[in-house]
Each structure stands twice: as C-alpha cells, then as structure tokens.
Structure 1
Amino acid sequence: MARRVKRKQNVIQNSNKQEENKQKENFSITIYKELDKNITNLKKMLGEPIDLVVRPFTVRGTEHKCAIAYIDGLVNDDLIHSHIMKNVQLETERKQLPDEKVKLFEVINNEIISASTEKGYTLDDLSNALLNGDTIFYLDGIDKVLLIDTRGWESRAIEEPDSETVIRGPREGFVENIQTNLVLLRRHIRDPNLRLKKHYIGRRSKKTIAVTYVDGIINPDIVKEVDRRLRAIDMDDAPGVGYIEQWIEDSFLSPFPQLINTERPDKVSAALLQGKLAIFLDGTPLVLVLPATFGNALQSPEDYYERWTIGTLIRGLRYLAAFISVFLPALYVALVSYHPGMIPQKLAFSIAATREGVPFPPFIEALLMTITMELLREAGARLPSTIGQTIGIVGGLVIGEAAVQAGIVSPIMVIVVALNAIASFAIPSYSVAISFRILLFGFLIASAVFGLFGIILAYIMINIHLVNLKSIGVPYSTPFAPTFLRDWNDLIFRSPIPLISRRPKYLQAEDEKSGNTGGKNL
C-alpha cells in the first residue's frame, strides 16, 4: 500500500512539474519593469530592423518615463499622433495623475488613450501585435504594456473582380485587407447572428483567419469540423487561401475543387444565408466557401440577377459547355478512329477529304492541338492583359491556319479544338474549368485506346469518384446522388425566386426556410 501511495504521489508531482514547465515556456520571455531593458530586448528579438520606430518621452506633469514602439509602414501615423502622443502629452497635463505607477498605467489606459487597447505580458504578445500594425506603449516600472490598435497600411481600392464580372449586380470585390473584407460582408448581412471567429495560421507569419457563418442557420457539425481541420494546419506561412484549401480538403488526389473560392461579397453572403461557411485570410482577396457540390461549379450570381427564364437558359448553356469542354475532342477521336459508321455519310466523306495528307492519327493530331491551345492560354494569362488577349486570339488564328496549310492537322480538328476552348471559357469557376481540362486528356487517352467504350468506362470511373467524394463531410455529388428532389428546383433549372423558399436540404440547416429572400444556392 505504501508503494502505491508513493507512486501516486510521484505521478502527481511529475504532472505538477510538467504544468509548471509549460507555464514557464509560455511566459519565459516576460516583460521587465525596467523600460530600457524592455526596449533592448524588443530590438534584439526583431534583430534591430530599420523600420522599427521607438519614441521615448515622459508623461507631462510627472517624471515617469514611457515609450511607444511601432513598425513604420504598418501603422497610421495620424492615429499615433492624435490618439496616443497628443492625448498623453495634453490630457495628462490637465488631469491630476496618481503617483503610483500601477494606477497611472490604468488611468492612461482607461481615460487618456482613445484608441482600442489590449494588455500584453510577454514578448510573444508584443511581437504578434507589433507585426500586425499595433503600437506598443511602455511605462517605466510596469511589467506589462498596452497594445494599441493603430493599423493603417496601404491597400488598393474596392473594385469589381476581373475573373467574376457580371452584367447586372454589384460592382465591388474583396481586397487584401481582411478588415475591409469583413466590412463588405457586414454590409450584405446585417444580422446579429453573423459570427466572425478569429484564428491564426502560420508558425512564423501568424496571419489572421476569420471563419464566418450565420448562427441559427448553419449546421453546427460543419463549424466543428472546419474548426478541427484549421487547428490541424501546421506550416510557416499561408500566402493565399489555396494553401488552406489544400490542407482542409477531403481528397487531395481529386481533380475537382472541393471548396469554392470567390472575390465577390454578394456570392459569399448568399452562401452564408444558405447555411454554408466562409473563410477569410488576411493578405488575399479570395475567400473560401464550403461545403461545395458539383452543382455549384456551374452556377453564377448572374443567374439570380436576371429573370428565371434567362437564368435557366444561361445555366443550360453552361452545362452544354461543360460537356463540350470535356468530351468533344475525345468523341471526335473515337468516332474517326473506331466508329466511322456512326458518322453521317456526307459528314464522314467531308472529314475523310480534309484528313487526306495529314501524317498523324486523330489522337496525335488532337493531342498536339490541345496542348498548343493550353500553351497559348497559359501564355496569355501570364502576359499583361492587353498583350495577353492579343497573343491568345492572334496566336490561335495564326498557328491554326499555318498548321492546316502545312498539312499537319485537318481543318475539322481546328474547329473541334476551338469549340472546346470556347466552351471552357464559359465555365464560371476558374478552378472547375482547369479540372475539366485535366479530365479532357484522360478522356482523349481512353478514346484512343478503346474508342467509345473507353469514354464510357472513363465516365463511369469519374461518376464512381464523384459519389465517393465529400466536401467537409457533405457528398460532393448531392443533390444528384444522394438525391434530394426538392433541391433540383435550383440545380439545372433556375426556378422563379418566390418558389425557392427553402434552403438546400443536404446542408441540414437549422432554419430550413429561407423566407423568399432570393435563396441562392451558390
């Protein structure tokens, strides 16, 4: 019995020591009471950078020394002058200040500095605040500091995103400043149930992430799952939301994007009101919306700003464009190489006449032209906008005409590849369009090996993959499979707005009724 008691005592002592060590690790680099020592430690920690500004001064009317420190370029100089320096120098002269330093510190915090403040106790707190654009206020003799919000770096103006333009709709898009982006979201959703949860990502960058959703609508399980995945992220920096997307997606082997990325506030607000969740990252205008389904890939805000007949027609054209962008070159290769009897007689003779003298089989011909179009598209995207458009159009015409004149490819192949490229431009999501372009090469190879049977087998494999794919636990192929017939009124066809009275059933929203507010299934 005595041995058991000793063992228990040792276990308790070890656990207590571990807790003490953890606390020491977390608070090992504490703030000292000596002002000069604190400033020296701050400069050493940051490596004495040239943009670190330290301004020592004394509280007017007393002999108490104090100082402020900030990173030049990350702060608003006017805020520092008006809310800190001016107040501390003028207001302290008018007030009867206490001699005790602790009380003086609280008076400066509560009555003199007019900007929003927090208290910092370690050098880690200081570094995080300083590198986020805050200003640090030291008071000699106090082992804590004030972290004053003075962020004010330069940012570009709000404008419409180039990749998501609409004819009828708001002309505003997100920018690189997360605070501005959250304000844009607030302007669209003025609901007290809108929740904004802050996270930090990156061991070294420590960038701010905002997880947004509408409480009372979203399924709480989605919030818990996203929070769990975000906490599992472990990397030095996240320059863009694409890094976060690759960390939290369900399958990194899938060619399909399992999260939506957008720069439009109206698209994000519509998704949140449907019961989805959005992730904002400081430093990028793109926002992640999740969960996503295959039906979201071919939807656009333009569908809802027009009348339902026009929206249905445009959406139907997108589904046709998706089919052409994936299957058209493969169908051409399969029919010409393996199944010419399925082609109408006159058309078959016309194709045979145009292919006379072409040295390559249809598969090599299609592969060469498709790769050429991909190179032109990539070159146009990397060049300045005006030159890029010229390269894409003129390059395609010149190379296509030269290839036909040289007898390398047939004119019908140029038409097929051109239709394929035009159809891919009709896909509203850039990530989805790239996924379709990847599948195109797979279907081309399958058609070259097995003809139409290869296309059918590849199509079956893609469908098996889709029904097994999930986005944050939600089936990617829903509402096709599993089937939710109620959600089909806003899938391929866009029903009139008054008839879209309920949120998507597959999201299992707490409040299913959307109140006829234009429930967009984005």
Structure 2
Amino acid sequence: MELISENLKLILGKSNDIVFTEIYINGDERITATLLFVDGLIDRNAVNNDILKPLAEESKLSKSKNIKDIIELINHGAVYYHAQKIRNNLDDVINDVLTGNTALIFDKEKTALTFDTRGYEKRSITEPTNESVIKGAKDSFIENLRTNTATVRNKIQTKNLIIRETIIGKQTLTPVAMVYMDGITNIDLVNEVKERLDKIDIEGITSVGFIEEYIIERKYSPFPQVISTERPDKFCANILEGRIGIIIGGYPVSYIIPATLAQFFQAPEDYGQNYINGSFIRILRYVLLFITLLLPAIYIVLVQFNQGMIPSELAISIASTEEGVPFPSFIQVIFMVLAFEVLQEAGIRLPRITGQIVPIVGALIVGDAAVKASMISPIVVIIIAATAVASYTMPNDDVRLALRVWRLLVIILSSILGLIGLSIGIILFLHHLCRIETFGIPYLSPFAGIDREELKDTLIRLPLSWYKKRPPTLKSANKRRQK
C-alpha cells in the first residue's frame, strides 16, 4: 500500500484514540498535510508549539514553491523540533505513530515526517521496592525506557557506553536496549546476545520473563541464569566489569548477563562497608545456603534413620517432643514446609499491607495450633522456622525460589533412602549446577576454575585496591580495571 493518509485511515482509523487532522501549511489551502498521532502518547504542548505553530506562522514556508521544498525546509529546522525523520514506508510510519511519535503526511509526495513527541504519563523515580538500600543510591529503574537509559548515562558518563536498541514483539513492539562498554566488553559476547535477541519471534512481551526464557540456555533449570535488578547502581557496576545489560521498555526491571551463582550471593551493600564486615556477611550467606537447603533433610535422616548419630541428651529431648504425635517426622516436615510455602504465596498475592501480616500471623497460628493438637512436634516447627529465616538472607529472590524447589526434592529423597537419599540429593544438586553454562561461562565459576583473580570477590571481599583486573572468565577486551 502507498504511503497516503487514506491508507493509514483504513488501517488505524477504527480506533478512537488515533487522531487524523488536516492542516494548511501557512494558511494556504493549496498546500495541505495530515497530522497523525495517538492521543495520550504524545506531549500536546510540543505538538502545538513546536510543530503546528511554525507550520502556520513560519514565513519561510510561505515562500516555498512546492511541497518538496516545504518537506526539505521542515527537515532542516523550519519547525522548532530537534528530532524528525523522513519516512517513505507505510509500516515505518505506523510503527513510529504507535510508539508516541507524531506524523506529518504529505499525500502528493507520498512522504511523511515523524517527530518524536512522546509524552505519556510515567512514574517518578523512587526508592527500589524489592531490593533494600542501606548505603547506596536511592533511585530505581521505572517503566520508561528512555528514563532508564538516561539514568545509566548519568552514572556512566563516558563515550564508551554503548546503548543499542531493538524492537521485540510483533504486536506489542516492545523496545529493548542492550547496554555495554565499548573497548571493555567482549565483542563475541555482544554479538551472541544480539543474535539471541534478534531470534526472538513472538507476538508480544507481556512480562520480563519472556526475554529471559528466550535467551537462556538451560531452560529446564529452576536456577536463574541472568541477574535481574531494579537498582541502577548494581546494573552499572556490572556493566563496568564487562557484562551486558538489557533494559526492557515498559518494565522497571533490567537484566545483567552473563550470570554465575557467586554473583547471586553478592549485594551492592558489600562494597559500601568495611571489607572485613562485608566478607563476614558473605561467608554467612553461604553457610545459610546449606542450612536452608539441607536442614530439614538432615533432621529427617537423624531422627528417622540414624538416631545413633544424635547425642543422648538431645535424642531424649527430641523423643519427648515427639510423644503423642501420630505422624512420622518426614510427614511433619513435609506438611510444615508446604504450609509455609502456601503462607508465603498468600502473602505475595494479597494487598501489600495485609500480605506482610499473613505469613507471620499464619505461621504463629498454624504452628501453635498444630503443636497443641499434637499433630506437629515443637522441634519440627523450630527446624522449619530456622530454614525459612535462612532462606530470607539470600540477596536474590530467584535463587531463593530455586532453593525452595530443591529443598523439597532433597527432603523427599531423604525420607525414602535416609542418608543415602541425602547424599544423592546433594550430588544431584552439585551435578545440576555444574552442567549449567551462561553464554559459555560455567555457572559455578570461579569455584569451577579456581582463578585467583576472581576468588578475591566470592566467599570474601578483599579491599577494593586489590582488584587490579576484571574477571578472566568474561574475556574482556580491556582486562585491567585499575593500576
């Protein structure tokens, strides 16, 4: 179809929010154009003052002999606008208009000028809601892509910061920006990420998980293979390290790739405090990882299969709490684990104020009632409570959810095979992690490769002056971080 206003009306005219307005250039009825925009997506003041006003009053336009000259004048500043494009393709005009641009269509020349007049309502930058900030920047990403890229530019003010955008989704036309450092990020990694993004061929992006699922390699693993964050400071820190960031228009969450398991146990606050304190917290997180994953299973193995491994006094104490309880230990543990998972899910789905109360009150009421009814022993309630608290120390929600899935698997294996089942669960857990690669990097890196440079920032955090080079696994073009 030709690029004329009538064809555009056939395609877009059924929607009431799409506005077609015929205007006279400089009041001359012989020179007409059609103004096209989506009501609600544009800045009306910009359209009125920077486009319509000069079209009606600019004297240079009245001296033009034909429409081709007028198009040339407009394209070179006859209207007071900084960003316009000449379009000769119908699809290009439609895409521009539906993303908040205003089109000025000249039917006789079958040409349109599109102006970037996006001005829809957007949420102001606030403190992150899902990632707490103790000592750090209080800003967060929002749903507007251009605001997010500007936030990143404000933090990394160098010409080497590259932002490349693409459109994903045939119907949603979602803008996606790939962010990296020229001269630092491995160019092979850049090309690989770009290739995977270009291969995404779906109707639309209605959740950030769509992008994640299409670019990861191990789609059947519960463990996250990209880092999601709403904090620009965390995003920028990883970009400077040589990783690639992905910002998705319409969502306040960005992605960082590639990811390793060690990164999910790091938090920006680790670098905002003394390295000794930061190292202590990191070691504690790894200890709590094994507690939240294995504690219920270890309890089942000791109480039900290997009572001889428990000290006598403790065994007597546990036996006294089990007195009168009709269910074996593994049934009690599974019941409490599932009950706690249900309470957590209920807390997420309910309104925020109510949702914060439900898990606490529900756990107290359910636990207390179950103990008084002799359905659950008090020691099981303590074990599950300790497991839950340990899981909350994980800095990343996706890792916490993956550990919940694996915890249940290990509990089931331990309930059936005892110590052998526990060992099988641990071996399967480590085997699964060893098999995961993210963009060619082992998921257990640097533990898998035992690289001294990367080990400086894993279990412990050494002084910042010790980080002379970037992580070797990233194969950065510029390996040196500081002298």
* 2:103 pairs with 1:141: no
* 2:147 pairs with 1:169: no
Shift of residue 47 of structure 1?
A: 4.8
Q: Which residue is equivalent to 1:231?
A: 198
Residue in structure 1 matching 2:417, options 450, 454, 467: 450
Tell me how far apart the structure 1 counterparts of residues 133 and 285 of structure 2 sit (CA, whole Å): 15
Which of 114-123 and 38-47 deviates more?
38-47
Residue in structure 2 matching 1:412, options 379, 403, 406: 379
Which of 444-453 and 244-253 deviates more?
444-453
Residue in structure 2 matching 1:400, options 367, 377, 398: 367
Q: Which residue is equivalent to 1:13?
A: none
Residue in structure 2 matching 1:339, options 300, 303, 306: 306
Which of 430-439 and 311-320 deviates more?
311-320
Q: Which residue is equivalent to 1:8?
A: none
Shift of residue 140 of structure 1?
A: 4.0
Which aligned pairs between 1:207-218 and structure 2 lie closer than 5 A?
207-218=174-185
> Is the 1:64–1:140 Cα contact (8 Å) retained in structure 2?
no
Aligned residues: 481
Q: Which residue is equivalent to 1:299?
A: 266
* 2:36 pairs with 1:64: no
Tell me how far apart the structure 1 counterparts of residues 44 and 281 of structure 2 sit (CA, whole Å): 50
Which aligned pairs between 1:95-110 and structure 2 lie closer than 5 A?
97-110=63-76
Residue in structure 2 matching 1:259, options 226, 229, 234: 226
Shift of residue 122 of structure 1?
A: 2.0
* 2:472 pairs with 1:505: yes
Residue in structure 2 matching 1:83, options 25, 42, 50: 50
Give the aligned residue type for 1:391.
Answer: V
Tell me how far apart the structure 1 counterparts of residues 368 and 86 of structure 2 sit (CA, whole Å): 70
Residue in structure 2 matching 1:118, options 62, 65, 85: 85
Shift of residue 244 of structure 1?
A: 0.7
Tell me how far apart the structure 1 counterparts of residues 61 and 22 of structure 2 sit (CA, whole Å): 21
Identity of aligned residues (%): 37
> Is the 1:240–1:281 Cα contact (8 Å) retained in structure 2?
no
Give the aligned residue type for 1:50.
Answer: N
Residue in structure 1 matching 2:296, options 329, 348, 353: 329
Alpha-carbon spacing, 1:48–1:294, altered in 2? closer, same or farther (3 Å): same
Tell me how far apart the structure 1 counterparts of residues 354 and 295 of structure 2 sit (CA, whole Å): 29
Give the aligned residue type for 1:373.
Answer: F
Shift of residue 343 of structure 1?
A: 1.1
Tell me how far apart the structure 1 counterparts of residues 432 and 347 of structure 2 sit (CA, whole Å): 33
Tell me how far apart the structure 1 counterparts of residues 183 and 74 of structure 2 sit (CA, whole Å): 41
Structure 2 gaps, min length 5: none
Q: Deviation above 4 Å: which 4+ runs of structure 1?
A: none
Shift of residue 240 of structure 1?
A: 2.5
Q: Which residue is equivalent to 2:189?
A: 222
Give the aligned residue type for 2:85.
Answer: E
What do you get for the CA RMSD once the two structures are aligned?
1.2
- TM-score of the superposed pair, with normalisation by structure 1: 0.90
Q: Deviations over 1:237-264 (max 9, x none)?
A: 1122211110110111112111111001
Give the aligned residue type for 2:199.
Answer: A
Give the aligned residue type for 2:2.
Answer: T
* 2:446 pairs with 1:474: no
SS at match of 2:246: strand
Shift of residue 161 of structure 1?
A: 1.3
Shift of residue 96 of structure 1?
A: 5.1
SS at match of 1:216: coil
Shift of residue 139 of structure 1?
A: 2.4
Residue in structure 2 matching 1:382, options 342, 349, 359: 349
> Is the 2:265–2:396 Cα contact (8 Å) retained in structure 1?
yes
SS at match of 1:64: strand
SS at match of 1:378: helix
Tell me how far apart the structure 1 counterparts of residues 369 and 480 of structure 2 sit (CA, whole Å): 59
Tell me how far apart the structure 2 counterparts of residues 76 and 181 of structure 1 sit (CA, whole Å): 19
Q: Which residue is equivalent to 1:18?
A: none
Tell me how far apart the structure 2 counterparts of residues 256 and 61 of structure 1 sit (CA, whole Å): 64
* 2:9 pairs with 1:43: yes
Shift of residue 340 of structure 1?
A: 1.0
Tell me how far apart the structure 1 counterparts of residues 472 and 309 of structure 2 sit (CA, whole Å): 43
> Is the 1:229–1:248 Cα contact (8 Å) retained in structure 2?
yes
* 2:8 pairs with 1:30: no
> Is the 2:26–2:61 Cα contact (8 Å) retained in structure 1?
no
> Is the 1:325–1:421 Cα contact (8 Å) retained in structure 2?
yes
Shift of residue 189 of structure 1?
A: 0.7
Shift of residue 95 of structure 1?
A: 5.3
Q: Deviations over 1:474-513 (max 9, x none)?
A: 1111101122122111001011111122111111111111
Q: Deviations over 1:37-61 (max 9, x none)?
A: x333212212521101112110115
Q: Deviations over 1:216-255 (max 9, x none)?
A: 1111111111111111111101122211110110111112
SS at match of 2:340: helix
Which of 447-456 and 341-350 deviates more?
447-456
Tell me how far apart the structure 1 counterparts of residues 241 and 400 of structure 2 sit (CA, whole Å): 24
Tell me how far apart the structure 1 counterparts of residues 70 and 54 of structure 2 sit (CA, whole Å): 14
Which of 432-441 and 45-54 deviates more?
45-54
> Is the 2:55–2:61 Cα contact (8 Å) retained in structure 1?
no
Q: Which residue is equivalent to 2:398?
A: 431
Tell me how far apart the structure 2 counterparts of residues 137 and 47 of structure 1 sit (CA, whole Å): 16
SS at match of 1:158: coil
Structure 1 gaps, min length 5: 1-28, 32-37, 517-522
